[in-house]
A = this chain, B = another copy of it.
Amino acid sequence: MDYRFSDRVKKLKPSAIREIFKYASDPDVISLSAGNPAPDAFPVDAIRKCSEELLREQPIDALQYSVTEGLPALRDDVSTFLKQHCGIATPGDSILITSGAQQIMDLLGKSVINEGDTVVCEEPSFVGALNSFRSYNAVLKGVPMQDDGMDLKKLEGILKSDSKVKFIYTIPNFQNPTGITTSWEKRQGIYALAKKYDTLILEDNPYGDLRFAGERIPSIKTLDTDGRVIYSGTFSKTISPGMRVGFAVGGNALIQKMVVCKQGSDVHTNIWSQHVIHRFLHGWNFEEHLKNLQKIYAKKYAVAEKALNETAQSLTYRPIQGGLFIWCTLPDSIPMMEYCKKAIQNKVCVVPGNAFLTDSSKPCQSFRINYSSPADADLARGISILGRQAKEWPADQQR
């Protein structure tokens, strides 16, 4: 039959990324297109032990229905961690455990976006979040990224002229896809503008704990005095993404509305995962584990950096201090999309940069590579193939 889809999803199409991902499952292809944590970063033994103990000691608690807000003990853990580790402790805030941080985008979208409302985002930005906002018929307005974060003049320009802005979406640490970290000055600037124009901020911080160089910069949430910032965190990059456990911190009234939406969305987050993470945070040294992760990522990034510097000089890239992604840019003469397609023929898969734009039909000379999931040898070989391909791009196919 002819399905009459809703207006909000009619425009949602499987993106170019999804088309490219089809090739990524070919075992002969080196995938630099994923957003997966390094497999050797998973605390497998600890999870196995936590799970065995849980299923022995509390089997019914691990299998029965649970509450929508999330396991109270895990909410306490998150609260303690954020206070001690990040200086986040706003009175009047509540915590909601979600099915990955992606669900925070969905629940916040459902709670505050009316069709036609505006969401201001970094340009380029995480396509999963953008698609979630699109699915509520939001108008996305992008603010170009500079080396230290959003262009604040352009941000203010949008906030001043558009009364339908519901929130500003930002990934301040090792942004996806650019790897940019927003400076402390700009974080303060973003908060001040949100206050001036009375709008919310969704601060998405999946990668903050994966910093392997430089100094930690305080979260925007630490500036929050009136429940204006919704902080989005996750255990996907620090423990396991397959578990799908994230957490939102926000003003109590907003979190309560998101709870009602979550009730109608998936009732509660998988409770085995919540218990296992709670046990992991107590039985193991989480700070030590994070330090270990940082070592793993530093080592892997060094492999990528060496390969980029030695075998891919025709590409420019932005050095990073953490996170999962490196943003590479082609010389103007090489058409980006054709380059990415050719990379697949050469058995290397990357993500074309236009996928991260609010309007993916706009021109873009960059693409995203992930250095964390491939094995070191594949990573180096993949980058050298990309380098050679740029260096030897045929003159008759140049722009």
Question: Does the CB pair B263–A131 fall under 8 Å?
Answer: yes
Partner of A267, one of B8, B12, B128: B128
A142 to chain B, nearest CB (A): 18
**Chain B nearest CB: distance from A48 CB in Å?**
4
**Complex partner residue of A62 from B14, B242, B265, CB under 8 angstroms:** B242
Q: What residues of B have a CB within 8 angstroms of the CB of A139 in the complex?
A: none
> CA separation between A7 and B257, bound complex, in Å?
12
> Which residues of B lie under 8 Å from residue A257 when comparing CB positions?
3, 5, 9, 12
Complex contact A63–B44 (CB within 8 A): yes
Contact of A112 among B5, B198, B240 (CB under 8 A): B5
Report the stretch among A52-60, A296-304, A310-318, A359-367 that lies at the interface.
Answer: A52-60
Given A36-B64, A260-B131, check contact A269 B241 (CB 8 Å). Answer: no
- Quick one: which of A253-276 are within 8 Å of B by CB? 253-254, 256-257, 260-261, 263-273
Residues on the B chain within 8 Å of A48, using CB: 52, 55-56, 59
Known A8-B110, A240-B63, A241-B64; contact A3-B268, beta-carbon cutoff 8 A: no
Contact of A94 with B by CB under 8 A: no
Q: With the chains together, A146 CA to B105 CA distance in Å?
A: 41
Taking a contact as CB atoms under 8 Å apart, the answer to whether B264 and A135 are in contact is yes
Contact flags A2-32 to B (C-beta < 8 A → 1, else 0)? 0111111100111000000000000000000
In the bound complex, do residue B264 and residue A102 qualify as a contact, i.e. CB atoms below 8 Å apart?
yes
A344 within 8 A of B: no
B266 touching A112, Cβ below 8 Å: no
Q: Which chain B residue shows the least CB distance to A115? A: B115
Q: Mark A279-307, 1 if CB is under 8 A from B, else 0.
A: 00000000000000000000000000000
> How long is the Cα–Cα vector from A117 to B65 in the complex, in angstroms?
32
Q: Assembly of this chain: how many copies? A: 2
Tell me whether A35 is interfacial, beta carbon within 8 Å: yes
Task: Evaluate contact between A242 and B271: CB separation under 8 angstroms.
Answer: yes
Closest chain B residue to A276, Cβ basis: B272
Chain B residues with CB under 8 A of A135: 110, 261, 264
In the bound complex, do residue B241 and residue A270 qualify as a contact, i.e. CB atoms below 8 Å apart?
no
The residues of B that contact A111 with a CB separation of less than 8 Å are 3, 5-6, 9
Cβ contacts under 8 Å, A39 to chain B: 60, 64
| B65, B136, B198: the one within 8 Å of A241 (CB) | B65
**A272: min CB distance to chain B, Å:** 6
Known contacts being A3-B257, A7-B114, A112-B3, is A65 close to B264, with CB within 8 Å? no
Specify which of B13, B198, B272 is in contact with A272 (CB 8 Å cutoff). B272
| Chain B residues, CB < 8 A from A242 | 62-66, 270-272
Q: How far is the CA of A3 from the CA of B257 in the complex (A)?
A: 10
Residues of A365-393 at the interface with B, using a CB-CB cut-off of 8 Å, are: none
Q: Could you say which residues of chain B place their CB within 8 Å of the CB of A36? A: 64-65
A158 nearest CB across to chain B (Å): 18
How far in angstroms is the closest Cβ of chain B from A202? 13
Residue pairs across A and B with Cβ atoms less than 8 A apart, 25 shown, are A1-B198, A1-B227, A3-B112, A3-B257, A5-B111, A9-B110, A9-B260, A13-B260, A47-B59, A47-B63, A48-B55, A63-B242, A64-B242, A99-B99, A99-B270, A100-B266, A102-B267, A105-B264, A134-B264, A243-B272, A244-B266, A244-B267, A244-B269, A265-B265, A270-B272
The interface of chain A, by Cβ under 8 A from chain B, is 1, 3-9, 12-14, 34-37, 39, 42, 44, 47-48, 51-52, 55-56, 59-60, 62-66, 98-100, 102-103, 105-106, 110-115, 117, 128, 131-132, 134-136, 166, 198, 200, 226-228, 236, 240-244, 251, 253-254, 256-257, 260-261, 263-273
Pairs of residues from A and B, 7 with the lowest C-beta to C-beta distance, nearest first: A132-B264, A242-B271, A63-B240, A270-B270, A99-B266, A131-B264, A44-B59
